[in-house]
Each structure stands twice: as structure tokens, then as C-alpha cells.
A and B are shown apart, each in its own frame.
Chain A
Amino acid sequence: EGQLVESGGGLVEPGRSLKLSCAASGFTFSNYVMDWVRQAPKKGLEWVASISTGGGNTYYPDSVKGRFTISRDNAKSTLYLQMNSLRSEDTATYYCAALPYPYWGQGTLVTVSS
């Protein structure tokens, strides 16, 4: 059964950077479009980024475009999210997922605060 495990969350000051990782196992990672989805405390779900199977195409909503970069290493079955110029409104639990499929990680909490 497929499993996704995120890491890299933590407390960071506004304006700083953080990189999240997501290790996949139990399915052929390279065959799946992958996504990052976040959930602010007590709020709903917000899609943050998608990446094609080969990594050549990436997509972002306006709220993070130009600040966040999604990437993947298919040889390592790992997904990444580089987050720059972080703001307080980026505070959330970040989930790695393959949205059309039943693959979601457990989430990693990112807190942006001074």
C-alpha cells in the first residue's frame, strides 16, 4: 500500500526559507503527478503546487507563485517543496498527496512567526 511521509516543517521567521520533503513508498512514484496541499489551523484545504511525472511541468496558485517551488527526484521517490519569502499566512500543515488517488501523507506543520 502506498505511503507518503513528509518532513522538514518547523518554526521559521517571516521572510526566511524552508524546504519540505516527502518520501514515497509502496507505489511507482514516477508514474504519478504529485501535489502539495496545505491546511491553515482550523481552516479548509488549499492546493499549493503540482508537478508532472517527469518534473518538467509545475503549477501553482497565485498565492504562492514566485515564492514556492515544487520539484521531485524520481530516483529517490521523493517530492520537495522549496518555500521562500515566507509569510505569516503560510502557517499551515503541509500535506504531500497524489490528489486523484488515495495517497496522502500525515502532514508537516510549518509555523511562520517572529
Chain B
Amino acid sequence: DIVMTQAPLSVSVTPGESASISCRSSKSLLHSNGITYVYWYLQKPGKSPQLLIYRMSNLASGVPDRFSGSGSETDFTLKISRVEAEDVGIYYCGQLLENPYTFGAGTKLELK
């Protein structure tokens, strides 16, 4: 199974500042079709997860452009610029390259 390792497990950010979350996969997530199958989700307190970034760097519909995704074949980064109160929650990376789909343990973002 592909293991997804996130860091840090928690981050405390001053509103208006930026935050970065890292995710590393145990296997390349780059498919032969040129698409990298890493996804980012945010679970706000008491809510269902919501899709933020798909295929490593594509912003999901309705997601503010303060969010961005980047990376290589095995190392990925979610960056949040100008953090706002509504960004609080747990961020998960996940791989949808192959079964079983797997997720990172999550990164909890809090405000200072």
C-alpha cells in the first residue's frame, strides 16, 4: 500500500500569515498519462471533508485562490497564503493513483 506521510501534525498560524503543509508518498504518484494523483482535503470542525486541490495543483470549484498545491512525484505541498479564521480544521492529503486509496494522518491548523 502507498503510505502518505504528512508534516507537521499541527500548525499554529497568525491570521494573515501563510502556512505550508507537506505530504510525502512512499511511491511515485505520477501516472504514465502525466497526471499526478494527489489530492488535498479540508475537514472543518464538525463537518465532512471537502476537496481543495485535485491532481496536485488544480483548485477545486469554489475554493479561494489563497490555496495552492505543488510538488514532484513523491513530495507535495499545500500552501495557504493569508490564513483566515475559516481555514481552521484538519488538512488531509490523499492518493487516488491506485487501490487501496490512502490518506495522510492529517494536519491540524489552528490560529494563534
The chain A residues found within 8 Å of chain B, CB to CB, are 35, 37, 44-47, 50, 59-62, 95, 97, 99-102, 104-107
User: Whole-angstrom distance between the alpha carbons of A61 and B103 in the complex?
Assistant: 13
List the one stretch of B17-25, B69-77, B94-102 in contact with chain A: B94-102
Rounded to whole angstroms, the CA-CA distance of A29 and B54 in the bound complex is 20
Q: Is the CB of A106 within 8 A of B48?
A: yes
CB–CB A50/B99 < 8 A = yes
Determine the main DSSP class of B at the interface with A: loop
Query: In whole angstroms, what is the CA distance A106 to B49 when docked?
Result: 9
What does the 1/0 interface line of B15-50 toward A look like (CB < 8 Å)?
Answer: 000000000000000000000000101000000111
Number of contacts between A and B (CB, 8 Å)? 51
Q: How many residues of B contact A (CB 8 A)?
A: 22
Instruction: Write the B45-82 contact mask toward A (1 if CB under 8 angstroms, else 0).
Output: 00011110010000011100000000000000000000
Tell yes or no: B89 within 8 A of A by CB. no
- The distance in angstroms between the C-alpha atoms of A61 and B87, with both chains bound, is 31
Please list the residues of chain B having a beta carbon within 8 angstroms of any beta carbon in chain A. 1, 39, 41, 48-51, 54, 60-62, 92, 94, 96, 99-106
When the two chains form their complex, are residues B49 and A44 in contact, meaning their CB atoms are under 8 A apart?
no
Cβ contact within 8 Å between B62 and A102:
yes
Q: Which of B101, B102, B104, B106 contacts A50 (CB 8 A)?
A: B101
Q: Which residue of B lies closest to A107 (CB)?
A: B48
Instruction: Say yes or no: A44 contacts B105, CB within 8 Å.
Output: yes
| Residues B50 and A47 in contact, CB atoms below 8 Å apart | no
**Closest Cβ–Cβ distance, residue A74 to chain B (whole Å):** 22
Asked if B101 and A99 make an inter-chain contact with CB atoms under 8 angstroms apart, the answer reads yes
Interface contact B48-A105, CB-CB below 8 Å: yes
In Å, the complex CA distance between A98 and B102 comes to: 15
A44 touches B48 (CB 8 A): no
What residues of chain B lie closer than 8 Å to A95, measured between beta carbons? 48-49
In order of increasing CB-CB distance, the 8 nearest A-B pairs are: A61-B100, A47-B101, A102-B51, A45-B103, A104-B48, A59-B99, A44-B106, A102-B60
